[in-house]
């Protein structure tokens, strides 16, 4: 089967790899550079963030996707010889007493059956001596994991190439026909099925329901010494240590249409939050500012499955990294086995 995947973010690349691994001939068409959209700006923390992401259908989907991650990334690393940056360090969630962010983490962990520990300011300071813990309480999630998104992209690209996936960057899909993807140049790329995984740009296609809008995420990469051992998150953002001595700091959530460049105001806001948590970051070296547009559906849930002339995989919002292995598995089973039974009804395309 000839399959075109429109979009080379983590969802598109994971789907292409899975489909090619099951014998399909796959071409990925990317309007920009592979992995340089929402994936590029993401912190890569593999746990729910907002209160609604812990419970209900979305919470169950998050849990099933997170459960796939250790084996999925291990297979990816073994296949390519590349480190995905996957680490099971746990994380701290902090905030002032009574803040909904911390309360939701506690409630969500209890609902999901995850181990957690409640910490007062003294315990937070003992866990992370560099944390400005005065006036804060927290929840420690000892078993959560994270991944370095640029390393993940490199591994997915390498695996796809080994499996015969063809990648075309700078190729914008402007239309989808029953047997082809139509590029902005007018070129038609033949396909038995087209998978629309174009992130925030998926909303440009009239058959997408519910509607998808772009939500800007901005983050910074800093170099510093001995700031924290594990990711620390607050309602205003996160500080995530990497094995190479860098720190991923962010991430904003902004409604700016398709404006995708980080602004001075956002850089200031991200730095203010990070240094409020860890004052020693004042001396950090600023390496880069990143940004990407997350695809957020009108009802806040992913959109997965066939509709119109395409198969859709978008609307993952802030959980695209988490959802990648599960979404790829569902797409491959749906397209190649004509079995969409694993897709929750609430996620069905065209709902």
- Strands 232-234 and 91-95, by their bridges, are parallel
How, if at all, do strands 173-177 and 246-250 pair?
unpaired
Pairing of strands 166-169, 25-30: parallel
pTM over 0.85: yes
> What CA–CA distances, in Å, run from 342 to 47, 101, 304?
21, 31, 10
Strand partners, 238: 233, 250
Please, what are the averages of pLDDT over each run of 10 residues along the chain (351 residues)? 98 98 98 96 93 90 96 98 96 96 93 94 97 97 96 98 98 96 97 97 89 96 96 96 94 92 93 96 96 96 94 96 98 98 95 91
CA dist 244 to 87, 203, 241, 287, Å? 13, 37, 9, 13
DSSP SS3 for 180: strand
Residue that the structure tokens 């082809």 belong to = 180
Domains of the chain: residue spans and CATH: 2-83+148-213+298-347 (3.50.50.60), 91-145+214-297 (3.30.9.10)
């Amino acid at each position: 089967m000839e399959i075109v995947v429109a979009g080379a973010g983590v969802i598109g690349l994971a789907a292409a790899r899975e489909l090619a691994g099951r014998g399909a001939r796959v071409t990925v068409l990317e309007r920009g550079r592979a992995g340089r959209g929402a994936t590029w700006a993401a912190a890569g923390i593999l746990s729910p963030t907002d209160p609604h992401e812990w419970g209900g259908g979305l919470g169950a989907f998050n849990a099933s996707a997170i459960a796939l991650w250790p084996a999925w990334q291990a297979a990816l690393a073994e296949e390519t010889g590349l480190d995905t940056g996957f680490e099971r360090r746990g994380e701290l969630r902090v905030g002032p007493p009574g803040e909904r962010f911390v309360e939701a983490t506690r409630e969500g962990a209890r609902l999901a059956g995850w181990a957690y520990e409640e910490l007062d300011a003294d315990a937070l300071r003992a866990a992370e001596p560099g944390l400005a813990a005065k006036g804060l309480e927290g929840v420690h999630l000892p078993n959560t994991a994270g991944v370095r998104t640029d390393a993940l992209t490199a591994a997915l690209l390498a695996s796809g190439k080994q499996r015969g996936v063809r990648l075309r960057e700078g190729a914008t899909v402007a239309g989808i026909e029953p047997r082809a993807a139509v590029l902005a140049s007018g070129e038609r790329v033949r396909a038995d099925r087209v998978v629309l995984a174009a992130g925030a740009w998926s909303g440009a296609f009239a058959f997408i329901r519910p509607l998808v809008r772009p939500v800007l995420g901005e983050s910074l990469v800093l170099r510093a010494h001995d700031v924290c051992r594990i990711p620390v998150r607050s309602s205003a953002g996160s500080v995530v240590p990497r094995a190479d001595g860098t720190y991923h700091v962010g991430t904003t959530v902004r409604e700016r249409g398709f404006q995708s460049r980080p602004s001075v105001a956002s850089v200031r806001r991200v730095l203010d939050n990070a240094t409020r948590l860890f004052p020693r970051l004042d001396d950090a070296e600023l390496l880069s500012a990143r940004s990407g547009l997350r695809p957020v559906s009108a009802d806040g849930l992913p959109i997965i499955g066939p509709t119109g002339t395409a198969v859709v995989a978008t609307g993952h919002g802030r959980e695209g990294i988490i959802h990648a292995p599960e979404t790829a598995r569902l797409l491959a089973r749906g397209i190649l086995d004509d079995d969409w039974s694993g897709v929750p009804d609430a996620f069905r395309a065209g709902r």
